[in-house]
Structure 1
Amino acid sequence: MSDPLWRPSPQRIAGANVTRFIDCVNARRAAEISDYDGLYRWSIEQPAEFWIELARFADVRADWGTGLALMDGDKMPGAAWFPGATLNFAANLLRFRDSTEALVFVGERTGRRALTYQQLFSEVARVAQGLRAAGVEANDRVAGFLPNIPEAVVAMLATASIGAIWSSCSPDFGINGVLDRFGQIEPKVLFTADGYFYGGKTLDSLASMTSVVSQLPSVQRVVVIPFASAAPSLSSLRNAIFYDQFGVAANDIDFAVLPFNHPLYILYSSGTTGVPKCIVHGAGGTLLQHQKEHLLHTDLKRGDRMFYFTTCGWMMWNWLVSGLATGATLILYDGSPFYPDRNVLWRLAESESITIFGTSAKYLAALEKAAARPGAEHDLKALHAILSTGSPLLPDSFDYVYQHIKEDLQLSSISGGTDIVSCFCLGSPVLPVYRGEIQTRGLGMRVEIVDESRQSVRGESGELVCTAPFPSMPLGFWNDPDDKRYHAAYFERFQNVWHHGDLAVLTEHDGIVILGRSDAVLNPGGVRIGTAEIYRQVETLPEVAESIAIGQQWRNDIRVVLFVRMQPGQSLDDSLRQRIKDTIRTNTTPRHVPARIVAVPDIPRTISGKIVELAVRDVVHGREVRNVDALANPEALEHFRNRPELSA
């Protein structure tokens, strides 16, 4: 058994929220839980009791009514959580009304701007009044095409206070990408900024929005936030008004009292294989799940200052904003994480005394490749946790964090998705961190790794599934009245079981290693290989910046093809090809070794930064990529078309 990279101190364990939660459960339920493992077992064996106790511990503001906490708990889909309860999501996030900073915003070209909890409440009250005056009612849709600015949070909370449904895209989406999403849900009000900043450039949004609004007849009002300029012209937008003129000041908010499962958000799948799925999430389930993950897994407390590098088009934005329910301070940043240099986010961490720093695995890998030393160059004494998601965190990145950022912190690689607006596997402040592993499965989540016959396995790769209902399951897909597409997406592979589509391993430590997406799995000679198994080897080589692997149909079989993007000044020659193959063979198996290794100048990715194996596979095989508008850099696909290296 390998030694952990980090163990929490006895003092940290004693002061953790999850330790207090165990004490509360033992006192209230006469349970005899002594540690996290015991709590996890109890949470999946007694799910209704677990979520009731979580709601009490988190002080969720709701009328719980009477009746069962879980109805039809043997049905997936079909289970209903707290069917007799009512609440308002925004009321729970706005429970504090004091001078503590709620939001701190820093942008690439903008100075620091903060809103206290009292100021945030007042802003939400004003914008909610504006929405009501614009005719917005419960179940109407309100959309945002916004950078990661405080006004986005205000607009979302105002929307939720009424019981309308919030949906957002980041401003780097193209016109067709926005229409593919907002065109399906028909928003009544649209919030947009006039532009945004990224990588030292000023980028316009109003031209895009003019085109979008002209093709969205449902939009009755456009609210424009001057961000890139002080006084943008609204002449090209119909029914447009400036943000500071929208609504009138109000002392209170008339929070709509709504069923527990009232729709809150519409989020979108990546759309790389067709029109994006519009995933509807409920208010109560989202609130409970996020409270659990913040309090018990991230150890978020009122005095914390939490940051996540995200856009409004990624579910981590929704996840971050829920941190307001704890009374913590949220740090928002909009811009490039590498402009004007690679230390910009660490200067932010130092100046804002960030305690919880959220980012992506790709960002940490890029810092490692650049030999960045944040721990030596910045005062990070406040930092006690780093969260990473978006793709599997490579073992070398674990080493890098502890060697060059900070020795004493909880490193939480987390994994879940837009589908559940939360996590299946994530961290724990009271458990050790092992190299290359996600610490644990989420409390209340009966997560298993299963083989083709649906038997649970440990120590070998299998499909990540959840075999019991959980509160943040989607309410369904928009415009899917019979739930046919919803059922096909998650419940077709295994009956009455959520099939998430990740290939993973459950380790001896009860940790999880994600090997990649099941639909991108490589299958040479009938052996299933997760792409992440290859990436974690290739990207240890200093010459390689990034890689992407596919399975190419070849002579009645599948062969592994690896594409690499080189570091500046590096080139791919036969010597490096052999080193890549040797590294893969030594650390995995001969089956993992690519038959072809090809250099490309760029690799296509989604707007949220995920590489797209399926799109590359389609191009290599001469098939049409169904929705290139879902890509941040669709032109990169051309680097994979008609490659002579792949015809022999």
Structure 2
Amino acid sequence: MPAPPFVPRIRLYQDWLEATRGLRFDGYDALWRWSVTDLDAFWQSIWEHAELQSPTPHTTVLADDRMPGAVWFPGAQVNYTRQVLRHVAAADAAGVPAIVSDDEQGRVRELSWPELRRQVASLALTLRDLGVVPGDRVAAYLPNVPEAIVCLLACAALGAVWSVCAPDMGTSAVADRFRQIEPKVLIAVDGVFYAGRAMDRSATVQELRAALPTVEHLLVLETPFATKRIADGRPLVPATARNDAETDAFEPAWLPFDHPLWIVYSSGTTGLPKPIVHGHGGILLTLHAVGLHNDVGASYDPNHRGERFHWYSSTGWVMWNTQVGGLVCGATACIFDGNPGGPKDAPDWSTLWRFAARHRVTFFGAGAAFYSQCMKAGVVLRDCGDLSRVRALGSTGSPLSEEVQRWGSEQMAQVYAAAAEAGASAAPLPEGRSARPPEAAGPPPGRGGAEDAQRAGWGAGEVFWCNISGGTDFAGAFVGGHRELPQVPGQMQCRQIGHAVEAWDAQGRPVQDAVGELVCTRPIPSMPLYFWNDAGNARYLSSYFDTYPGVWRHGDWIRIGADGGCTIYGRSDATINRHGLRMGTSEIYRAVEALPEVLDSMVVDLEYLGRDSWMPLFVVLREGLVLDDALQQKIAGAIRAALSPRFVPDAVYQVRAIPRTLTGKKQELPVKKLLLGQPPEKVVNRAAMADPDSLDWYVELAKERNAPPG
């Protein structure tokens, strides 16, 4: 078939604004400034452009303009699942599937849109029969398989509140999360296959069941990887198998705009993981706004015909929610369950690329660390199958370096050239990346007109890099891609519409062309409704609003250039970010300091501007003990069991003392800055330290690490 035109969705949105409202903007900066200044007009336009429906009208757009506590679209009723299932008839008529799944063992499954609807209705009715009502929490311990998507949509259809953890997380880490939200139902997998190995999870499920006294019902996704069946579990698959008049007639419930949709988790430097609650309406609106930047469209739409969206993720990362969000847009979701690096004993970083070629993926997303690993492993994309249908590469989770992005662009250029030479590609080749209909001939407006459009590579055979940075906290992106703007390797093209992002200095002043704290000065619909069981919003306020009251401080360093391009430099706080998955240091301390040999500990993550994450752990041991190989293995095992193998440190050091403030707080951020090369006198006030001499050892380590080669 001929390549679809793939006119950028954000261009179509701007054309719609001009046609319906008479709004025309000279360039993207003007559009962005309007979107963050006139919030009512902008978000109303997103509501209409996304074709959101409500049986009752909203009385206003933003009833309370403050952070936290903004009130959006009072009176409106929506449902996340209803917005997904609106695509069933058109997508089925076009013959495009809803979900394509694959795994390490090559087990391919396709779910048609009608089949997705039927399974969602069946499970929703089953949950209703089990007594699940709006507001009840349903917790899931599931891998990235179609059943997980069905479960989310079934819960949302009823108004139940969904929460999921991945099976690669340790039992205590999962229990710490689910125990806080008091679920009525637990849906769990009894085994997984990952990195070439079958792993029985039946004992973990039984431990979770015992740790969650509020659970009344256990549904089990049974697999061949479990060594025994769980006695008090009810099989999940039959619960999705109903096909009768009641499933045919099922309709998702209309819910208030701010009804809770899901609970996700973000760890801080102290206390338990934060259970963050997002609402149906806020997620739907923000998904649409962000989707205009990501440029993912409905697979049945002539402009995006055959769209297949893949963003590699485990269910424990918010990018899994983004992957599911592709269904909201009407795109086919292509999901992979397994290790992107192949078997543990025979690493293969071409695994995901071969998956993408096999299933004709058009948008391929992954964490920045994945692309770095592929480059280091010498992966040659043209040898991974026909990847010429891939028109966009998405990256997030950590800063993508200039070197890695250039590598990816060169690899895709070779893919396109090989396909063109073979003359066999029926996919969006490079020129399709920027095609426009004849009536829209001429270069699109960029930041400054034709010159910028030319720099952007308009129709020039270049893959679109959709580099984004956002967070679990609001299930969205602050900065990201734009197909009509210049691509600069290592940068993100712009601040996203509707997101009032600025870089601030320590005095709370906006800065340009300088690194500052990433802040958001106006509300976004998908910001948390609240944290679950957070009395007086105490944790919510301390997480984002303690530095600049009334202004969201995200915890990242950002540089915003004069041309609007953005660079993320890593975390400005002490939260650990390993390949896109965040974990609070407090969770690592609980695992390490539970060992009798360890008296105290501190961990920092030195991820910064595309460098590989390097995470050292410092431990104070009981008198007379020495950190030998056996103890290092014991420490690593404790972290692996309690949290995940991802958070095993790169190095463990035995130290005399952990630097602390006079009030006893571990000085993680000063040590992090020190190891990144900042001078000691600028990162810490020794007079405010409980033991100033404890810093000396870290100063010497910093000198060693930052000394020039040779």
Q: Is residue 419–residue 474 contact of structure 1 (8 Å, CA) maintained in 2?
A: yes
Candidates 155, 163, 186, aligned match of 1:159: 155
Q: What pairs with 1:251-266 in structure 2 (closer than 5 Å)?
A: 251-266=248-263
Give the equivalent residue in structure 2 for 1:419. Answer: 473
Identity of aligned residues (%): 36
- Amino acid in structure 2 at the alignment position of 1:496: G
Q: Is residue 393–residue 465 contact of structure 2 (8 Å, CA) maintained in 1?
A: yes
Give the equivalent residue in structure 1 for 2:341. Answer: 338
Q: Is residue 569–residue 609 contact of structure 2 (8 Å, CA) maintained in 1?
A: no
- Output the CA distance in 2 between the equivalents of 1:550 and 1:186: 33
Offset of residue 619 of structure 1:
10
For the structure 1 residues 616 and 248, does the alpha-carbon distance in structure 2 shift closer, same or farther, using more than 3 Å as the test?
Answer: farther
Q: Is residue 314–residue 608 contact of structure 1 (8 Å, CA) maintained in 2?
A: no
- Amino acid in structure 2 at the alignment position of 1:39: L
Candidates 4, 14, 32, aligned match of 2:24: 32
Q: What pairs with 1:460-479 in structure 2 (closer than 5 Å)?
A: 460-479=514-533
Q: Is residue 293–residue 480 contact of structure 2 (8 Å, CA) maintained in 1?
A: no
Stretch deviating more after TM superposition (23-32 or 240-249): 240-249
Give the equivalent residue in structure 2 for 1:369. Answer: 376
Where 2:98 maps in the other structure, the secondary structure is: strand
- Output the CA distance in 2 between the equivalents of 1:258 and 1:330: 25
Where 1:83 maps in the other structure, the secondary structure is: coil
Candidates 50, 53, 59, aligned match of 2:51: 59
Give the equivalent residue in structure 2 for 1:318. Answer: 321
For the structure 1 residues 375 and 293, does the alpha-carbon distance in structure 2 shift closer, same or farther, using more than 3 Å as the test?
Answer: farther
In the TM superposition, what whole-angstrom CA distance separates every residue of 1:41-82 from its partner, at most 9, and x where no partner exists?
221121111111112112123346142100121x11121111
Give the equivalent residue in structure 2 for 1:497. Answer: 551
- Amino acid in structure 2 at the alignment position of 1:441: R
2:472 matched to 1:481?
Answer: no
- Output the CA distance in 2 between the equivalents of 1:116 and 1:14: 23
- Output the CA distance in 1 between the equivalents of 2:180 and 2:307: 38
Q: Is residue 289–residue 472 contact of structure 1 (8 Å, CA) maintained in 2?
A: yes
Candidates 180, 191, 208, aligned match of 1:195: 191
Candidates 261, 273, 277, aligned match of 1:276: 273
- Output the CA distance in 1 between the equivalents of 2:648 and 2:380: 26
Give the equivalent residue in structure 1 for 2:580. Answer: none
Q: Is residue 141–residue 189 contact of structure 2 (8 Å, CA) maintained in 1?
A: yes
- Amino acid in structure 2 at the alignment position of 1:279: I
Offset of residue 245 of structure 1:
4.3
Give the equivalent residue in structure 2 for 1:356. Answer: 363
Give the equivalent residue in structure 2 for 1:240. Answer: 234
- Output the CA distance in 2 between the equivalents of 1:510 and 1:129: 49
Give the equivalent residue in structure 2 for 1:89. Answer: 80
- Output the CA distance in 1 between the equivalents of 2:146 and 2:59: 39
- Amino acid in structure 2 at the alignment position of 1:357: F
- Output the CA distance in 1 between the equivalents of 2:295 and 2:133: 35
2:68 matched to 1:77?
Answer: yes
Q: Is residue 520–residue 531 contact of structure 1 (8 Å, CA) maintained in 2?
A: no
- Output the CA distance in 2 between the equivalents of 1:90 and 1:14: 26
Candidates 295, 298, 307, aligned match of 2:292: 295
Give the equivalent residue in structure 1 for 2:11. Answer: 19
Offset of residue 446 of structure 1:
0.5
2:104 matched to 1:50?
Answer: no
- Could you tell me which runs of 5 or more consecutive residues in structure 2 were left unpaired when the two chains were aligned: 300-305, 414-460, 576-603, 620-634, 667-696, 704-710
- Output the CA distance in 2 between the equivalents of 1:14 and 1:136: 42
- Amino acid in structure 2 at the alignment position of 1:44: V
Offset of residue 229 of structure 1:
4.5
Give the equivalent residue in structure 1 for 2:496. Answer: 442
Give the equivalent residue in structure 2 for 1:329. Answer: 332
Q: Is residue 18–residue 297 contact of structure 1 (8 Å, CA) maintained in 2?
A: no
- Could you tell me which runs of 5 or more consecutive residues in structure 1 were left unpaired when the two chains were aligned: 1-10, 522-528, 540-545, 553-599, 627-641
Q: Is residue 618–residue 655 contact of structure 2 (8 Å, CA) maintained in 1?
A: no
Q: Is residue 307–residue 330 contact of structure 1 (8 Å, CA) maintained in 2?
A: yes
Deviating above 6 A after TM superposition, structure 1's stretches of 4 or more consecutive aligned residues are 11-14, 549-552, 610-620, 622-626, 642-645
- Output the CA distance in 1 between the equivalents of 2:496 and 2:192: 36
Candidates 201, 210, 215, aligned match of 1:214: 210
2:178 matched to 1:178?
Answer: no
In the TM superposition, what whole-angstrom CA distance separates every residue of 1:14-42 from its partner, at most 9, and x where no partner exists?
81111111111122222222432222122
| Superposition CA RMSD, Å | 3.4
In the TM superposition, what whole-angstrom CA distance separates every residue of 1:250-291 from its partner, at most 9, and x where no partner exists?
113232111101000100113664310100111100111112
Give the equivalent residue in structure 1 for 2:630. Answer: none
Stretch deviating more after TM superposition (257-266 or 12-21): 12-21
In the TM superposition, what whole-angstrom CA distance separates every residue of 1:306-337 from its partner, at most 9, and x where no partner exists?
00110111111111101112221000111111
Offset of residue 615 of structure 1:
11
Q: Is residue 502–residue 518 contact of structure 2 (8 Å, CA) maintained in 1?
A: yes
- Amino acid in structure 2 at the alignment position of 1:62: S
